[in-house]
Structure 1
């Protein structure tokens, strides 16, 4: 379904994405909000994100961003009459189940309640602030301090003969981020898993309000250290669309080069960790070496191992010269050959395949139900990739070949990672072979007019989304960033059902979702 088929009387085109995608904004009433969600779901569209904002003292709006055939539809529903958040807004989790936790977060941060929602338990607030305090409301500075009042969380209890609970976390061994997992089991077989996250809330969305729009990419790049390129690019895209900034072609191609290098680095690390979690330490050692070589060349060629702060509004912060182009192409040949050898080992190793095959199955039906995206969705036959479906420069020219699998288990998620490494290597070769000349950053003349913009980038986990509103003085009135883990965490609870508890670390790693990146 196309966006113009909705017939919104006040539909505003925010931007054209060169390629096949645009972004539109429409203000709607309660009835249209509900009807639009149902229509979009029936048409095969998906919910990207949901968030709230206080537009003026006592005047609120709840927003939802949807992915449709021809781009992004950003719907805003005004809530409140100048005296508070009003009666709330109609909940949409019955249509898009992935909205449940987003709605809970919107209430805790802004005070907008989803009317009719079945789950209203706290999500981000672990007793760290009072229930009547909302950190993103204008009366709050975000710096208030409160004595912790943490209370027991109302986990769902499973009853029956032989059923008992295993509590894991929120503190884990090693350097893993905090998250609590409550297993209901009979013996070692998992009947139910319930997650509790939100321990890593950092107040990033409030911090954006104190950063000039043209400097916010530094904060965006620190939302998730392993996804710094995707978040920075999405932020810069949103600013550039809001301010009508044209990007030099060379900068667009350099951004894609950085993004594909970020994708490969993470896949190399994951393949080693997955081998190790299945008892194959050789895989960890070999892939760790390959990843380290990859990161070292990042540092030499671009000045940062993880490519942080390499993208800025208007273009790129760093160029690349001929000697590093040659080095990258040589490294691609080496990595390609080495990874193919390792894939043969992984595929032929009976011990690995015994652990991978059939573990943590996520069916296409369940993936669709939760709106699962990224590599996890593609490994379950859900073929979504913004680079393919809604290509932005330069992906509308280089033609990404989507990698997918139908099995939905750990083996499928491993296979997709292997395939995406090969495809990213092909893209890097193409990008370097056809790299345009010219400048790498545009001169920006900021007019200071209030505006809105969105950014949408296919990161290595899935699509990263940024929606922002600028003020007349060049400040950010609101900047909402969305990590694909919001959609994928609930699906993990289903993938573990019927498996044994010792397989959870392996299944969890095959998803490799972000804790802090969605606790904003």
Structure 2
């Protein structure tokens, strides 16, 4: 990213005006895409609200801010007219004690119920008190003859993340699901406070472990936008290299879970082998299977350890083996029967919500930051056509991931060719000012979709960091896709979503 000027702080609006401006901007033919609403505590007890929108006519985000004064932590809810804000406002209630009046379902999401004076208030020096998890049963809402509830999680079989699903069912169909994610909440947004940009990157890599590179990129892009830095071309290439390797590994992981749910033992083993080979290759290139400590503010730490010809050879073999097994799986009738029509996300709902990543692309909502707001070497590389389907089921989401794997290998070939043409003395990073001050947003396209960071700095230290993963933005749609499905479809729908609960419960 090469901004031409330092970002300026947006003007603060009155809450009612702020709400109206947000709703006006996201409606109409040239509507902006709603990317989230975040809070930041003020030392006097007030809270600043920031809504991030992406207008179609510009790459830069529009940040609309409002100030809630001490003793008046309430505003008319956005969710009544903008359902995509539903979970964002629940988080505001948990972390800041804010009441979005009229909100349709303001029960806790990240934290158990507590009084507002003990809210952690990210952005202030307040240290949150220890709290006990809310282990009370979620209330059943659905009633009728034969209706009962199945509590699925938080402890589940296999190596899966902690999440609690409350399935309300009359026996086979799934008319309603509730989700509780607080088991994975770690207070990460508070952990960023008072860190340097360098140390903040280390925390960002651990926000959502399956997307270390994407989170590090989004954080560093925000730093670089705030400082007005131009990242060296060599670093831009290296960043793309690790981002696309991460994408391939994640999409293979999704196929592992899908084939395992279908009982295809050989296919599961084959895709697990391919994923392991990708991770080992990444480890050979930089010393970390997840490419940690490679992306840093201002650039990268090193070039890949393997020579371009060797790396190209390794990737060519991997590409052929992966696509051969992918085609074999997608030619297996018993596997396709479990995907076709399963977990259907209506395209109109996906567009209204601004669904991200493969979930959005499979439902006609083809949003991708690499295309819309390109960064690093994506500005010059040939991305290929954007995957876009309209079926909206698990099959379409799997097709999107297969297409993206092919695109990733082609991007890797281009990147390696560019790396082979670099001069030996090419710089890999530029320094970040020690007195960095300002506020801005940064983004990157993770395998799950757009990762977004809202950052504020004061004299070289992070004073507020609000990370938002695609997993958080998309998981609320999980409620919406069970209209024609039954209990045995559950693992296929969950695997086809491909989300991280750690990325939700930040």
TM range, smaller chain = over 0.9
* Cα distance, 1:45–1:156 mapped onto 2, change above 3 Å: farther
Q: 2:64 aligns with which of 63, 66, 75?
A: 75
Q: Given the alignment of the two structures, is residue 399 of structure 1 paired with residue 382 of structure 2, yes or no?
A: yes
Using the size of structure 2 for normalisation, the TM-score is 0.93
User: Contact conserved, 1:230 with 1:464, CA < 8 A, in 2?
Assistant: yes
How far apart are residue 420 of structure 1 and its match? 0.4
Calculate the aligned-residue CA RMSD, in Å.
Answer: 2.1
Asked whether 1:61 is paired with 2:48, we answer yes
Residue number in structure 1 paired with 2:265: 281
1:504 to 490, 493, 504: 490
Separation in 1, partners of 2:162, 2:170: 26
Aligned-partner Cα distance in 2 for 1:237–1:53: 20
Matches within 5 A, 1:411-422: 411-422=395-406
Pairwise mapping of residues 332-343 of structure 1 onto structure 2 (< 5 A)? 332-343=315-326
**Are 2:22 and 1:37 equivalent residues in the alignment?**
yes
- Aligned counterparts of 1:375 and 1:338: Cα–Cα separation in 2: 23
Deviation at 1:497, TM superposition (A): 2.4
Decide which of 205, 229, 233 is 1:249's aligned counterpart.
233
Bigger mean CA offset, 309-318 vs 395-404: 395-404
Structure 1 residues 54-453: aligned runs within 5 Å: 54-69=41-56, 70=58, 71-80=60-69, 84-126=70-112, 130=115, 132-136=117-121, 141-142=126-127, 144-146=129-131, 148=132, 150=134, 152=136, 154-320=138-304, 323-401=306-384, 402-435=386-419, 436-437=422-423, 438-446=426-434, 448=435, 450-453=437-440
Question: Is 2:465 the partner of 1:483?
Answer: no
By how many angstroms is 1:160 displaced?
1.6
C-alpha displacement at 1:513, in angstroms?
Answer: 1.2
Answer whether contact 2:123 2:464 (CA < 8 A) is retained.
Answer: no
Deviation string 1:107-154 (CA, Å, 9 cap, x unpaired) is 221222212212211111125x555411126776425334x3736355
Query: Mind listing any 5+ residue stretches in structure 2 that lack a counterpart?
Result: none
Preserved contact between residue 163 and residue 184 of structure 1 (Cα < 8 Å): yes
1:249–1:93 distance in 2 versus 1, CA, 3 Å: same
Assess if the C-alpha contact under 8 Å between 1:37 and 1:95 holds in 2. Answer: no
| Offset, 1:170 | 1.5
Distance (whole Å) between structure 2 residues aligned to residue 332 and residue 72 of structure 1: 36
- Could you tell me whether the CA contact under 8 Å between 1:269 and 1:287 is conserved in 2? yes
Q: State the distance in 2 between where 1:444 and 1:505 align.
A: 45
